[in-house]
Amino acid sequence: MDYLSKWLKAKKQHNSSVHAQAARVQNRHLRVDEDEVHDIAVSRVEKILAAIPPEIMGIRSFESKSYPRALFYWEQHIRHAREIKSEEDMKPLYETLQHIYAQIDEPDGIEGISAHLKIYTIDQQIIEHRNAGRWTAAQSWYEMQLCAKPNDTELQSNLLSCLRESGQYGRFAGVPKVKIR
């Protein structure tokens, strides 16, 4: 997909420069309607790229850890889905968008998406607190979750990172040592 997109951009630039050069040779200006040159190869590649839904591109980009690209396609998908889905059906899409924003460390985006999620889970609240740098709030949520699941090493690791980020190194002595993956 990247190759096709790069090729398409390069081909359009090449066609445009060739067309502009031809206009200069003929000693005339390009008209606005002349700017685009019809090229069958370009139109075929555009059709191929347009045939792939943004939802699929967003999911695959997220799975391949290409988060900025995932954000690009997922936002397109959400804009289209807003026209045909109810607000309740949009909730999973917003949750995915929130995870993408978390991966690219975009606290403003996370807070904006949280406004669309009327009720959001503890995990979503933790993501919002961590990305906004509210380490004490995230720490409180991790501590509450650890009460229910004291042997969960991922929760312990996340709590330790919150303590480290908030500068509470003294509290490390009270936390049982765990092997962090």
**Residue range 93-107: mean pLDDT, rounded:** 80
SS3 content of the chain, % helix, strand, coil (to 5): 75, 0, 25
pLDDT digits (tens, 9 = 90+) for 112-145: 776 666 555 667 667 776 766 777 777 777 787 8
From 4-13, 47-56, 60-69, 126-135, the region with the lowest mean pLDDT: 126-135
Which residue pairs, CB below 8 angstroms and at least 24 apart, start in 145-153?
153/178, 153/179, 153/180, 153/181
Q: Does 34 score more than 70 pLDDT?
A: no
Burial class of residue 133, CB neighbours in 10 A (0-12, 13-18, 19+): exposed
Q: How many degrees, rounded to 5, is the angle at CA 25 between CA 21 and CA 27?
A: 110
Amino acid at position 27, single letter: N
The confidence score (pLDDT) of residue 119 equals 52
The confidence score (pLDDT) of residue 162 equals 78
Q: How many degrees, rounded to 5, is the angle at CA 67 between CA 61 and CA 69?
A: 60
Could you tell me which of 104, 150, 144, 147 has the C-alpha nearest to residue 123?
144
Measured between alpha carbons, how far is 90 from 87 in angstroms, rounded to an integer?
Answer: 5
| pTM of this structure | 0.53
Q: Which residues contact 47 (CB under 8 A, 6 or more apart)?
A: none
Which residue ranges make up each domain of the chain? 1-51, 53-119, 134-174
- Give me 132's structure tokens: 């906004």
